[in-house]
Amino acid sequence: MSLRKSATEVRQLRRAGAIVGDSLRLLRQLALPGARLSDLDAAVAKLIRSRGALPTFRGYHGFPASICASVNEEAVHGLPDGRRLRDGDLVSFDVGATLDGWVGDSAISVCVGGGTDSDRALVAAACEALRAAIAAARVGSALGDLGAAVEAVVRPRGYGVVESYCGHGIGRALHEDPVVPNVGILGVGPRIEDGWCLAIEPVITAGSGAVALRPDGWTVVTLDGGRAAHVELAVAITASGAEILTLTSDGELP
Ligand code: MG
Ligand code: MG
């Protein structure tokens, strides 16, 4: 099966992606000390539905909410429950929206109340790793080039990479082929073809990249209790380069 998307299909993904971009921008504004995660979840669900879309994550393999909110040592798939954010928390928000059968998926990490130097540096490294992976995502590149780009940013700073959670193809389904690892070797792996649409999403940690699953069955936490940052953008890769599909309606990064 071809993983290539047509220009018309990419347009659909861009429309879904803008709802995700706007949702993440809203979360960035609302992620203040005292904010309750369940309220942030409800605000995003309302925004997504107001745009005629559906929150992709709700019910996905039974997931109970519209967003993932992963706080501090939580790396991915954290639950937006009744907890309140506190000054100094590092929270990653992951949002999916389905519009007319096409899916947008993107994530940001936010230092609540401004954060410490070390948390800001961790988030900056995650964003830089994501930018490097996107820069490496060209027609003809190997998928290993993307993981290598992430590692080249992250490893010299002594951070860990969570290897067991990866990016993915995106289209009518949230998770399509191919798997897009956050570690890799230059030139190794499938070659990117014109029209591939990928969600690229490094998950990096202040300590070891080893993770475990909480008994809630969803929340992935670092084994050593160190903090994690998770950022994600969906891109369409064509001969003219990698276009980000999950910008806000204003065409900005969320
Ligand atoms: Mg995501
Ligand atoms: Mg994803």
Is the dihedral angle over the CA atoms 162, 237, 5, 25 positive or is it negative? Answer: positive
What value does the mean pLDDT take over residues 121-133? 98
Q: What is the pLDDT of residue 157?
A: 98
Centre of ligand 2 from the C-alpha of residue 242, in Å = 17
Centre of ligand 2 from the C-alpha of residue 208, in Å = 22
Residue 231 has pLDDT above 90, yes or no: yes
What value does the mean pLDDT take over residues 111-127? 97
E strands present in the chain: 54-55, 67-71, 74-76, 90-99, 102-111, 160-161, 167-169, 176-180, 196-200, 203-205, 211-213, 220-222, 228-230, 233-238, 241-244
pLDDT band at 250 (very low <50, low <70, confident <90, very high): very high
- Return residues with CB closer than 5 A to ligand 1 (ion): 94, 105, 107, 232
| Mean pLDDT across the chain | 98
In terms of Cα–Cα distance, which of 92, 76, 5 is closest to 40? 92
Centre of ligand 1 from the C-alpha of residue 56, in Å = 10
pLDDT band at 35 (very low <50, low <70, confident <90, very high): very high
Centre of ligand 1 from the C-alpha of residue 156, in Å = 26
Residue 246 has pLDDT above 90, yes or no: yes
Residue 92 has pLDDT above 70, yes or no: yes
Quote the CA–CA distance of 181 and 176 in Å, as a whole number.
13
pLDDT band at 1 (very low <50, low <70, confident <90, very high): low
Closest ligand to the CA of 170: 2
E strand or H helix at 133, and its extent? Answer: helix 117-136
What are the percentages of helix, strand and coil residues in the chain, rounded to 5? 30, 30, 40
- Start-to-end CA distance of the chain, whole Å, equals 33
Residue 182 has pLDDT above 80, yes or no: yes
Pairing of strands 228-230, 196-200: unpaired
Centre of ligand 2 from the C-alpha of residue 6, in Å = 21
Note the Cα 31 to chain centre separation in Å: 17
Task: Set out the domains of the chain in order of their start, with CATH numbers.
Answer: 7-244 (3.90.230.10)
Centre of ligand 1 from the C-alpha of residue 97, in Å = 10
In terms of Cα–Cα distance, which of 75, 114, 113, 119 is closest to 94? 75
Centre of ligand 1 from the C-alpha of residue 82, in Å = 21
Quote the CA–CA distance of 62 and 246 in Å, as a whole number.
24
What value does the mean pLDDT take over residues 158-177? 98
pLDDT band at 2 (very low <50, low <70, confident <90, very high): confident
Structure tokens at 196: 């591939």
Centre of ligand 2 from the C-alpha of residue 224, in Å = 24
User: Exposed, middle or buried by CB within 10 Å (0-12, 13-18, 19+), for 8?
Assistant: exposed
pTM, full prediction:
0.98
